[in-house]
Amino acid sequence: MSTTLAVRRVARPAVRAWWRDAAGLTAWLSVLFVVALWVSGRGLQDLASPAGFLTSAGRLTGLVSADLLLLQVLLMARIPWVERSYGQDELARRHRLAGFTSITLLAAHLVFITLGYAATDRSGVLAEAWALVTTYPGMLLATAGTAALGMVVVTSVRAARRRLRYESWHLLHLYAYLGAGLALPHQLWTGAEFTASPVATFFWWGAYAAAAGAVLVFRVGLPVWLNVRHRLVVDQVVREGPGVVSVYLTGRWLERLPVAAGQFFVWRFRSGPGWTRGKPFSLSAAPDGRRLRITAKDLGPGSRRLATLRPGTPALFEGPYGTLTETVRKGPKLAMFASGIGITPLRALLEDLPYRPGGAVLFLRAGRQRDLLFRAELEDLAARRGIRIHYLLGRRARERSSWLPAGYAPVPDDVVLRHLVPDIADHDVYVCGPDAWTEAVLDSASRAGVPAGRVHSERFGW
């Protein structure tokens, strides 16, 4: 595929550097404002007595938990400026941190409030808990919401995520929205801090409206608009290797789709049962304004069914997402590290990014020769653009964590890297592959002297 585009594509707008700091500062200020609301509501004075201490602590933990829950929703609302500022890896990390902290504070809220009310009413803890759930307005809904949030947290633990298919995990994760929605009536009907003053009422209604609005606009409205506008359909399905297929897609006005090489979409193909479950796939070729190409390996039902698609099948998409693009680049030299199907976004970048002959090097890891994806395309790019390619073939090193085949042992990875690319510290390093392999590359690049700001990797955020 030629690197010269026949049509002008819409450039993906950059986000100013200060936006990331402003977004983070706003999040922290919201937490501090919530604490200030608690203080203004005699939160500190109520700590004087044992019963007051428990009840006031319950109010504080509940308030902060609610604020973090809303921030958690906003973090994954696919707000374009937030997504481009942080990237999926960092957003997912902050989302998990906010989520686990929120559910921990929610559990503390339940315990403190129950103990505090029991001490005030001089009743048993179990009897007080039952009375709270069955007699206070909105508490039954809040209990159901807490159960939904608890399920989301349990399935988000790393050990549980590994046992779930992406599609199943994603479906279960949507219950977080249900949990947040079910908690709202309880907070507005029985939460004094929500209605104690016009300022508090404005803040909480505004916060819930902002979270709901962001979800409706960016997770529902924007994808619907883009799909109606571009009307993507499958044009061709090509077998690339054992268990690997590429899907070419066409549509209307693709030159106006603000997508860049290195990004991914969440895809749904309207063909057969289970089509509503989305699956993320990166572009494996630079967008040219006429067609898009994604490539996937058979790693489960979502990717396996791509091989069965027929030309003309409608495709629905969300995105584009991801910051593994030219926007994060710091200098003229490139070092690409790919393992297996991880070559897909890097192959698109090698085709699209500007660099001089000899200014890009690719390390491609595979077990066998036949597992090397896009070999003919990559060698054509190498011949035309001067890319240096190192194929890393052979079995994995079992005695240590390494991104190199076992044959390179016992030489340290960073020594091999500096030998193959002596000026590696002057390169922008792009990495895509399995988690453990990616971590090994990142560690090796760091020890070889590559500055942290020049190392770029991204996962799909799950």
Topology, domain 231-321? Elongation Factor Tu (Ef-tu); domain 3 (2.40.30)
| Among 390, 436, 446, CA closest to 414 | 446
Q: Classify residue 18 as exposed, middle or buried by CB count within 10 Å of its CB (0-12, 13-18, 19+).
A: exposed
Per-residue pLDDT of 107-143, as tens digits, reads: 898 889 889 888 887 888 888 777 777 777 666 667 7
What's the confidence (pLDDT) of residue 462? 45
Per-residue pLDDT of 138-179, as tens digits, reads: 666 677 777 777 666 666 666 555 665 665 666 666 666 666
User: Which residue ranges make up each domain of the chain?
Assistant: 17-218, 231-321, 326-457
Choose the CATH number for 326-457 among 3.40.50.11890, 1.10.3720.10, 3.40.640.10, 3.40.50.80.
3.40.50.80
pTM: 0.80
Per-residue pLDDT of 61-74, as tens digits, reads: 988 988 998 898 88
Sorted by sequence, the CB contacts under 8 Å of residue 241 that are 6+ apart come out as 370, 371, 373
Distance CA 350, CA 388 (A): 11
Q: Classify residue 310 as exposed, middle or buried by CB count within 10 Å of its CB (0-12, 13-18, 19+).
A: exposed
Mean residue pLDDT of the chain comes to: 84
Q: Classify residue 124 as exposed, middle or buried by CB count within 10 Å of its CB (0-12, 13-18, 19+).
A: exposed
Distance CA 104, CA 361 (A): 46
DSSP 395: P
Per-residue pLDDT of 172-203, as tens digits, reads: 666 666 666 777 667 666 666 666 678 888 88
3 state SS of 266: strand
